[in-house]
Amino acid sequence: MSVRDMALKEFVDRHHKALDDDLAELRRSNESESVPLILAETEEILSLLTGLTKPKKILELGTAHGYSALFFAKKLPEARITTIERNPAMIVYAEAEFANRKEGERIDLRIGDAGEILSGLADELKDACESEKYDFVFIDAAKSHYKEFLEQAEKICTKDALIVCDNILLKGWIIEADGDAAKRHRTSIKYMKQFLDYLVERDDLDVSILTGGDGLAVIRFKNE
């Protein structure tokens, strides 16, 4: 990220307003401990999207310490959230955060491999009506598996569902893969490029690629 880009990010972040003091403090503590969480600008976009669509049942891939799941629960008091995490260290913190807040009562933390859990959810919902399926999906897990996650999520979504994929720009490495850090993530870069090409090639999807935050792909089914 260039100096100018960093200055613009800091400018935007200064105008971010958390939903409440609890969420603001949770962001501060996570950032101070370098815990992975959605960027402030990403949160602003998610707040807009969920405010417009008002989903009732949200699926999140990638819980970390639970910040974004709690954001969804606070933003949408009537919604129920299913969130998936496999990292044992992350799970311990997320469980504690959910247990300490009333919003945690509406969050179902599924522990294990996202692909396996999605397959299980597909079995659970194979005969479900539209109201029992997910109408908002947030994908923020293993970047090399976004195509697989999307295809599995489609099986458990409503026809009008919104699917949002985070970090599609991979800190800019998607176009400028220089340096040791980029080299360590070259597999993710390769698969992310393939995923974005795949989205554009699918005629049954409406796809918007946004540069906000670390990049978002916002996806809807055309339903023609």
What is residue 136's three-state secondary structure?
Answer: strand
Residue keyed to tokens 């100096």 = 3
| 12-60 pLDDT per residue, tens | 777 788 889 999 999 999 999 999 999 999 999 999 999 999 999 999 9
What would the two tokens of residue 85 be? Answer: 């995490």
For position 156, what pLDDT does the model report? 97
Residues 212 and 40: their CA atoms lie apart, in Å, by 10
Residues 76 and 47: their CA atoms lie apart, in Å, by 10
* Four-way CATH pick for 3-221: 1.10.3720.10, 3.40.109.10, 3.30.300.30, 3.40.50.150: 3.40.50.150
- Which residues of the chain register pLDDT less than 50? 3
For position 187, what pLDDT does the model report? 87
The pTM score is: 0.93
DSSP label at residue 66: S
For position 9, what pLDDT does the model report? 74
Residues 85 and 98: their CA atoms lie apart, in Å, by 14
Domain extents for the chain? Answer: 3-221
Residues 78 and 57: their CA atoms lie apart, in Å, by 9
For position 1, what pLDDT does the model report? 52
Beta-sheet pairing, 134-139 with 205-210: unpaired
For position 196, what pLDDT does the model report? 96
202 φ/ψ angles, rounded to the nearest 5 degrees: -80, 115
